[in-house]
Amino acid sequence: MTSSVALAAVVAGLVALGFVLLTSRSLGRITVGFVVLGHAANLLLLLAGGPALAPPVIGESEPSRMADPLVQAFALTAIVITFGVTLLLLAMVHRSWAIRGSDQLPDDPEDRRLADVEHRAEHGEVSESWGYSTENRSPGERSEP
């Protein structure tokens, strides 16, 4: 297995892990998921830059042996953006912990109510006067009265 394929597999694993962490209910895990995705983006940029060559300084080596400085600039920009957003997320986690004593995201009462109405409509427990019909509609679609 070449180093490019191994790095691509590592990037895929980091992206999968990052998205799993992002979809959790804990703000701490969401923050770690974002950091992992940032590292995956940096590795992807490193992988896209090609093999390691000479430093991109004019006059020290021939142009065909120089590394692409644009990829390095993108990686540095990605690092700075990831750092800034991570600090913002950490501040939100700290504030949530200070106010509620937990970093768990609460359920939205309106979403819970709509999910209950949808569930009852699918089982025929809601009348047509409520504006829901169980015939010929996709989930989440409200029928016209």
What are the pLDDT digits (tens) for 100-127? 888 887 777 888 888 888 888 787 765 5
What are the pLDDT digits (tens) for 5-39? 888 899 999 999 999 999 988 888 999 999 999 99
Residues 21 and 89 in one domain: yes
Mean pLDDT of the residues in the chain: 81
Domain that holds residue 120: 108-145
CA end-to-end span of the chain: 62
Residues 15 and 76 in one domain: yes
Residues 68 and 117 in one domain: no
Residues 19 and 63 in one domain: yes
In angstroms, rounded to a whole number, what is the distance separating the alpha carbons of residues 113 and 52?
Answer: 56
Residues 68 and 115 in one domain: no
Number of domains observed in the structure of the chain: 2
In angstroms, rounded to a whole number, what is the distance separating the alpha carbons of residues 89 and 27?
Answer: 8
Residues 130 and 82 in one domain: no
pLDDT, residue 127, reads 56
Residue 144 clears pLDDT 60, i.e. is over it? no
In angstroms, rounded to a whole number, what is the distance separating the alpha carbons of residues 11 and 41?
Answer: 8
Residues 87 and 128 in one domain: no
Reported pTM: 0.66
Residues 58 and 15 in one domain: yes
Residues 56 and 121 in one domain: no
Number of Cβ atoms within 10 Å of the Cβ of 30: 19
